[in-house]
Structure 1
Amino acid sequence: MTNDTLNVALLQTTLAWENPKANRTHIEDKVSSITADLIVLPEMFSSGFTMNASEVAETMNGETITWLKALSKTKNAAIVGSLVIKENENYYNRLIFVEPNGTLTTYDKRHTFTLANEHKVYTAGTKKIIIDYKGFKICPLVCYDLRFPVWARNSEDYDVLIYVANWPKVRIAAWDALLKARAIENMSYCIGVNRVGLDDNNYEYSGHSAAYDVLGNRMDSIPESIETTEVITLEKSHITKYRERLGFLKDRDTFSLEV
C-alpha cells in the first residue's frame, strides 16, 4: 500500500563542537515531543563541520549509529543526517538514513568542500542513492552537493530531494536560491536542513532550513538563526498532479555521468 502523505520534521539546531555525546543528548531532547515519519538532522550532526576527523570519527558499529537505530525505533520514524565515519583507513562525511526496523542506507558526500580542504581529509563518494520509504522515493544529498545540479538531476523520478548541511551565513543567499531552484527544475519536493550558531572556527550559521513544493513554493515557516523544529506534510498527489499537468520532466535531457 502506498501512502499519499509523508510527515517530515526539519530539525534546525546548534551543534556542540566535536562532542558526539553532547549532540546526541541535545538532539534526543529536541525530538522527544516530535511525531513524524522522517526526522532530518544537519550535516555532521554529531560534531559540527570539522576537519579533525580522527578526533570524532566513528565506525558503522559505533555509539552514534547504535543510538540512531534505537532512536529511530523509539520514535517509529526514519532519521537522516551525516556524521564522520572511518572505514578501511579512510574518513567519510557519510549520510545515514536509518529506518525504524533497523535498515540502514548510506551515502558518502560526493562533492567535498575544497574551500575548507574537506577533499584533503574526507574521501568523496561515487554513488547517488534513491531510498524508497513509505511509498516516497527520496534522494538524500549533503551540503556542497547543492551547488551541482547535474548530480541531483531527477532522472530517477524521485519524489523528495533532501540536503543536510552546515552552510555558513556569509553565503546563505546561495543556499536559499539553490534549494528553490532544485525543487523547480526537478519537479520534486526539496528540503534543506541547516544548523544554527557559531562553531569553533568562528563561522556563523543562520539556519534558513526550508521545504519547497514541486513548483518552488515555500511550505514551512521556520525562522532564521534560532533552534526550532517544524513538521511539514508532503503529498504524493501534489507531485502527480503537477507532473501530469505540466510534463516538464518528460522534456529533460538524457545524459550519462562519469564519476
Structure 2
Amino acid sequence: MAKELIIALVQSPLFWEDPERNRKMFSKKIETISDQVDLIILPEMFTTGFTMHPENIDAKEGIQTVKWMQRQAAKKNAAIVGSMVFQENGRYYNRLHFVEPDSGFNIYNKRHTFTLAGEDMVYNAGEKKVLVEYKGFRLYPLICYDLRFPVWSRNTENYDALLYVANWPKPRSTAWDTLLKARAIENMAYCIGVNRIGQDKTGHEYIGHSAVYDCLGEQLVFSEKEAVLQVTLSKEHIKSTRDKLKFLDDRDHFILE
C-alpha cells in the first residue's frame, strides 16, 4: 500500500467544441511532466469546454477520448481523470472517467447538473456515487456544481480525498475557493479542485484557482495561471490527524434517497 500519492493538476484554457485539438494540446502538456506522478487531473469537459450543445460533438468523440486517456495513462504509468461530453443510448452525460495505467476505468456521471446554464435540460444527471481505490488511497471524484452540495460530498465512506474537476467562472471564484477549503475541513480529507482558465465562446471568463487543501484546510498549492501543478498527498498525515482529532467519529449518519 502506497504511503504517498503524487498528483499533477493541469490548469489550461480549452478550445471550444474541438475534441481533437484539445487532445493534442493536453498530450503536449502531459508530455512536459518529467517527474513520475501517480495521478494526472484534467478539467471538466476538457475536450470541448462547458458546452450546452452536445449535439455539435460527434457521438464517437467520447470513446475516442477514453481511448486517448488509456494511451496517455499507459505511456505515463499514471492514472488520468477528467470529464467529457459523452453520448450513450441517445442520451448525453457530463461523464467523468478515471482511467488507470492498465486501461481499466471508473465512470461518474455528474449528479448536480447546473440549472443556471440549462445543463439539466441537456444532460442526464447521475444517480450514483463512485469511490475509486487507487494505490492505497480512496478517492471520491466529483464535478464542478457538485461542490455546492455538502450532503453529496459528505465523508460517510472514509475516503482520503475529494476530487473536483470544473469549469468554474471568475465571478464566483470566491465561492470556489471557500467551498473547496470547507469540504476539506468538514470531511477531514484532502480536497483537490482543478479548474480551467481563459474565456469560452459564450463569453464566460475563467481564472483557474486550481488548488489542493489538506484535511485541516491548509492550502498546499494554488495557481491563477496556465500551469501544471504537482503536490504529494500523505496517507500518514490523514491518519495521524484523524486519530488525534477524531471529528469524523461524531459525524451524522444518514441515507441519501
| TM-score normalised to structure 2 length | 0.97
Query: Gapped runs of 5+ residues in structure 1?
Result: none
CA–CA distance in structure 2, aligned partners of residues 23 and 88 of structure 1: 25
Q: Given that residues 211 and 223 in structure 2 are in contact (C-alpha distance below 8 angstroms), is that contact kept between their aligned partners in structure 1?
A: no
Q: Given that residues 90 and 123 in structure 1 are in contact (C-alpha distance below 8 angstroms), is that contact kept between their aligned partners in structure 2?
A: yes
Deviates more, 1:106-115 or 1:50-59: 50-59
Q: Within the alignment, does 1:237 sit opposite 2:241 as a pair?
A: no
Deviation at 1:56, TM superposition (A): 1.7
SS in 2 for 1:140: strand
Deviation at 1:62, TM superposition (A): 2.1
Find the counterpart in structure 2 of residue 106 from structure 1.
107
Amino acid at match of 2:180: L
Q: Within the alignment, does 1:14 sit opposite 2:13 as a pair?
A: yes
SS in 1 for 2:80: strand
Query: Gapped runs of 5+ residues in structure 2?
Result: none
CA–CA distance in structure 2, aligned partners of residues 170 and 194 of structure 1: 14
Amino acid at match of 2:149: F
Q: Within the alignment, does 1:155 sit opposite 2:156 as a pair?
A: yes
CA–CA distance in structure 1, aligned partners of residues 236 and 79 of structure 2: 22
CA spacing shift, 1:251–1:57, aligned 2, 3 Å: farther
CA–CA distance in structure 1, aligned partners of residues 223 and 182 of structure 2: 20
CA–CA distance in structure 1, aligned partners of residues 233 and 212 of structure 2: 10
* Aligned residue-pair number: 255
CA–CA distance in structure 2, aligned partners of residues 60 and 196 of structure 1: 23
CA–CA distance in structure 2, aligned partners of residues 97 and 168 of structure 1: 24
Amino acid at match of 1:27: F
Find the counterpart in structure 2 of residue 193 from structure 1.
194
Map 1:63-212 to 2 at 5 A: 63-212=64-213
CA RMSD in angstroms, aligned pairs only: 1.0
Aligned sequence identity (%): 55
Find the counterpart in structure 2 of residue 50 from structure 1.
51
CA spacing shift, 1:74–1:156, aligned 2, 3 Å: same
Q: Given that residues 77 and 100 in structure 1 are in contact (C-alpha distance below 8 angstroms), is that contact kept between their aligned partners in structure 2?
A: yes
Find the counterpart in structure 2 of residue 25 from structure 1.
24
| TM-score normalised to structure 1 length | 0.97
SS in 2 for 1:31: helix
Deviation at 1:33, TM superposition (A): 2.3
CA spacing shift, 1:78–1:3, aligned 2, 3 Å: same
CA spacing shift, 1:192–1:246, aligned 2, 3 Å: same
Deviation at 1:207, TM superposition (A): 0.1
